[in-house]
Structure 1
Amino acid sequence: MQTQEQDIVVTAVAPATDKRDTPTRPMLRGDLRIEIFDSMAPLEAEWRALEQDDLASLHQSYDWCVPWVETLRRPLAIIRGSLAGRTAFILPLEIIRSRGVKRAEFIGARHSNINTGLFSPEFLASGALTSIQMAAVAAALRGKADLAILRNVPLEWRGRRSPLTSLSAVENQNHAFQLPFLGSFEASLKQVNAKRRRKKFKHQSRILDAKGGYEHVIAAPDQQDALLDMFFRQKAVRFKEAGLPDVFADDPTQTVLHRLLLRQAKDGFDATLQMHALRLKGEHEGHMAAIAALSRKGDHVICQFASIDESLVAEASPGELLFWLMIERLHREGAGLFDFGIGDQTYKRSWCPVETTQHDLLLPISTAGYAAAAIQRSVTRAKTAIKGNRQLYAFLQRLRARRSAGPAPADESEKD
């Protein structure tokens, strides 16, 4: 046993089965015990208990994290904080090495937003993690990471202040956009100009009805994978036209998303990923004009990604029509919030009265980590300034499009 500064007790723990089933380097500061785990399985029961919190992000749920961990196989540094022997919080982190710096980030953070971490009701009632407690977290991570970056964390989410607010924060360049559901569908629409919305819906419907009609498809289990593959193809075309890198192109990402399709609640509406589409009838029978993937946890529904095929009926704005159909159905099913995700796009603003600012939280651990944190702040602030200047951002988007010899489509942006 070795006693370090600030009364942190470090205890070496011998690994058990498979050398991945026990925590390493437990830390004790006051009555808060910090442990780092390098596998998920030992924490499953308490992890699933904490995620029952309605405001805990789907992206920190056990079933969301498993496919990322098993597919990418990055080293893990899952933080468990406990008080009086009871789990107070879990922060599911993975280690990413880049340019000589080891970063601890939320698992699968590249494809997630509205991240919260997992906290017990008792801990939430006691307030935020203190700076001293976060120093204990940093001490536990020493040797495993140089810098912890918790991306896309709203400092306040649906009326609750984040327990992570003691960390150094920089505003993320991308905001998230939401449509709250009110008592009736009409009341919900009135938040975003119901008359205009209904007029547009009728116009879109008339165009498609004249060509034979359309239907809203929710993929059956044996249809999900084919529809996801169709999304990849549609999105690749859109990214190429926009001169943007295809964030869905790599095999590991596609593998994870296919695996997430298999994780749906057998009772109720919750699903890690569910495919929806607008399918045409008549003249263009079977053509999928728009595709979207939704996740649901409790009353919170997130549109994880969406695509359109502009080769047919582009004049009907099929993507907008699919959003109408999904939102209308979800309101009937008792959802409380439809989340369009991150990225400032015109169609999101037309639907959403709520804009959520997110922050990247930084916890330097080593000397290299302090330098990396300073660079991260500067880069993020530069991106925020560029995106805040619409003329400059549009100019840079046009430059990117020209490099790929294609026009940039409206309302398409990269999450950077």
Structure 2
Amino acid sequence: MLTAAGVEYDVRGWGQEVRTDEYSVAVAKSFADAERTLGMAGSLAAASPFQHRTWLGTWFETAGRHPHVVPLVASIRDEARGQLAMVLPLIELRQNGRILIEFADLGVTDYNAPLLGPAAPHCVAGARKLWAALKRHLPKADAIRLTKMPGVIAGRPNPLALLSASQPSSLHGNVLKLASYDEFKRDRGRTYRKELERSWRVFERLGGTEFRRVTDVESALGVLRRIEEQQERRIRGLGLPYILDTPDIANFYRELVIGGLGSGYTVMTVLLAGEEVVAALLGVRDSEVFSMVRISNAGEAWRSCSPGRLVITRTIEQLSAEGCGCFDFTIGDYEFKRRLGGERLKLFELTQARSWRGLPMAAEASLKGHLRRHPRLAKWSRQLFQRRAAGPRLMMAQS
């Protein structure tokens, strides 16, 4: 049993790993080379549908074309074994006067991870050697920032989570595993089942209502537009900035629908009342794993029938009948995900400074990680800052 970054891995039966060899690293820095590298990585072990070639290929064709982004797709080989260790979909990002190296994400990818080859290291020493080799071949930057990393990839340890610099993230996934939809309903309990049945009856009483799996691209793009409108209205109504309407990001979701719907990788489901989209769900599926990407509903007028819950549960019912046994509600600490049976998926992050400009970012990440590991200290620090903030307010009130 091996323990690193707070996660235990059973490595028995994997063979002894003695590493005296060197890793070779090739970094694709053009979009054409990046796409070729990712195309050859299709058979590697992936952590989630977010590492599928459709997701990554679409990302580099759309969101990745932002003028501040340069692709850095690294392929790392174990030369002694003559095998691929991993492919790492990275980018160089210019942000706020700093140059960062991070995953191809820009806020649209829920889980970031390398694609693992047969020679991926599964011990701390091997992970350190691979990491050192990778850093020697990366371009100059102010910091490396890797976020939202699962600790396990297809049953194997994520080498990046084994590094001592990795630490638990404040974010976590929400994963439901089940054998059948009947099991899902049974595990939710009698009260939840009654609520679900009542919600569906309320919805059906309105007339002209249905749940539908959208399979043609034109209709799916129309539903996507409604998701965009409904999400924007809700987020702006909360007084929060809405960033999913930027051209590169919006185009990413459109191309994800166009390129993935026919193969079954992209899944679009919807609740309809006549022609009105009451709720809609966009997700991606790789084999038996379905990951939720975007969900929306028509708002307060439909609240009595809980349309978001209905579209999720009907999607679970349909996909589980097709052999899907893992439903990932992805990142977001929401009560409805827990009520649906989602269990926490621990995620990790790593931030390392590579210049003086990156030092504040690395120091902040280290401090936050330390506070997460020591909840009592975190509580004390929050109270301290609250008292300090209250002092000036009290003085102003008294003056």
Same fold (TM over 0.5): yes
Distance of 1:293 and 1:180 partners within structure 2: 19
**Residues 252-288 of structure 1 deviation map (CA, whole Å, 9 limit, x = unaligned):** 2111110111222755x3x1x33221111xxxx2211
Tell me by how many angstroms 1:234 deviates: 0.3
Pick the aligned partner of 2:336 from 313, 331, 347: 347
Pick the aligned partner of 1:116 from 98, 113, 118: 113
Matched, 1:88 2:89: no
Tell me if structure 1 keeps the 8 A contact 2:102–2:145: yes
Distance of 2:125 and 2:261 partners within structure 1: 32
Q: Report the counterpart of residue 37 of structure 1 in structure 2.
A: 28
Distance of 1:266 and 1:288 partners within structure 2: 22
Q: Report the counterpart of residue 15 of structure 2 in structure 1.
A: none
Pick the aligned partner of 1:181 from 161, 171, 178: 178
Distance of 1:333 and 1:320 partners within structure 2: 20
Matched, 1:75 2:60: no
**Residues 65-99 of structure 1 deviation map (CA, whole Å, 9 limit, x = unaligned):** 23332334221111110123543211011111122
Tell me if structure 2 keeps the 8 A contact 1:156–1:162: yes
Tell me by how many angstroms 1:46 deviates: 5.7
Q: Secondary structure at the match of 1:113?
A: coil
Unaligned segments of structure 2, at least 5 residues: 1-19, 387-399
The letter of the residue matching 2:100 is: R
The letter of the residue matching 1:226 is: G
Identical positions, percent: 23
Tell me by how many angstroms 1:128 deviates: 7.4
Distance of 1:264 and 1:375 partners within structure 2: 39
Distance of 2:213 and 2:184 partners within structure 1: 23
**Residues 373-415 of structure 1 deviation map (CA, whole Å, 9 limit, x = unaligned):** 1123346777997xx98xx9xxx9xxxxxxxxxxxxxxxxxxx
Q: Report the counterpart of residue 313 of structure 1 in structure 2.
A: 302
Q: Secondary structure at the match of 1:261?
A: helix
**Residues 330-368 of structure 1 deviation map (CA, whole Å, 9 limit, x = unaligned):** 110101210111010111110124111211122433343
Tell me if structure 1 keeps the 8 A contact 2:46–2:52: no
Q: Secondary structure at the match of 1:231?
A: helix
Pick the aligned partner of 2:50 from 50, 59, 64: 59
Matches within 5 A, 1:268-287: 269=264, 271=265, 273-280=266-273, 285-287=274-276
Q: Report the counterpart of residue 202 of structure 1 in structure 2.
A: 197
Q: Secondary structure at the match of 2:259?
A: coil
Distance 1:326 1:54, change over 3 A: farther
Q: Report the counterpart of residue 25 of structure 1 in structure 2.
A: none
Distance of 2:356 and 2:46 partners within structure 1: 35
Distance of 1:290 and 1:104 partners within structure 2: 37
Tell me if structure 2 keeps the 8 A contact 1:141–1:365: no
Q: Report the counterpart of residue 408 of structure 1 in structure 2.
A: none
The letter of the residue matching 1:168 is: A
Distance 1:168 1:104, change over 3 A: same
Q: Report the counterpart of residue 247 of structure 2 in structure 1.
A: 251
Tell me if structure 2 keeps the 8 A contact 1:57–1:117: no
Q: Report the counterpart of residue 360 of structure 1 in structure 2.
A: 349
Tell me if structure 2 keeps the 8 A contact 1:94–1:106: yes
Tell me by how many angstroms 1:114 deviates: 2.5
Tell me by how many angstroms 1:238 deviates: 0.6
What's the C-alpha RMSD, in Å, of the aligned pairs?
A: 2.9
The letter of the residue matching 2:290 is: V
Q: Secondary structure at the match of 1:199?
A: helix
Distance 1:110 1:35, change over 3 A: same
Tell me if structure 2 keeps the 8 A contact 1:65–1:108: no
Distance 1:192 1:202, change over 3 A: closer
**Residues 95-115 of structure 1 deviation map (CA, whole Å, 9 limit, x = unaligned):** 111222211111124111232
Distance of 1:32 and 1:60 partners within structure 2: 23
Distance of 1:320 and 1:197 partners within structure 2: 11
Tell me by how many angstroms 1:163 deviates: 1.8
Tell me by how many angstroms 1:125 deviates: 6.4
Q: Report the counterpart of residue 221 of structure 2 in structure 1.
A: 225
Pick the aligned partner of 1:191 from 180, 184, 187: 187
Tell me if structure 2 keeps the 8 A contact 1:224–1:274: no
Distance 1:328 1:301, change over 3 A: same
Distance 1:259 1:381, change over 3 A: farther
Q: Secondary structure at the match of 2:70?
A: coil
Q: Give the TM-score of the pair, scaled to structure 2.
A: 0.79
The letter of the residue matching 1:343 is: G
Aligned length: 352
The letter of the residue matching 1:318 is: P
Q: Report the counterpart of residue 295 of structure 1 in structure 2.
A: 284
Tell me if structure 2 keeps the 8 A contact 1:60–1:116: yes
Tell me if structure 1 keeps the 8 A contact 2:45–2:153: no
Tell me by how many angstroms 1:140 deviates: 1.3
Q: Secondary structure at the match of 1:262?
A: helix
Distance of 2:34 and 2:238 partners within structure 1: 43
Matched, 1:322 2:317: no
Tell me if structure 2 keeps the 8 A contact 1:167–1:363: no
The letter of the residue matching 1:104 is: I
Q: Report the counterpart of residue 215 of structure 1 in structure 2.
A: 210
Q: Secondary structure at the match of 1:202?
A: helix
Q: Secondary structure at the match of 1:123?
A: coil
Tell me by how many angstroms 1:292 deviates: 1.1
Matched, 1:335 2:335: no
Distance of 1:163 and 1:326 partners within structure 2: 34
Tell me if structure 1 keeps the 8 A contact 2:174–2:345: yes
Worse overlay, 313-322 or 215-224: 215-224
**Residues 292-319 of structure 1 deviation map (CA, whole Å, 9 limit, x = unaligned):** 1010112111110111112533200111
Distance of 2:97 and 2:302 partners within structure 1: 49
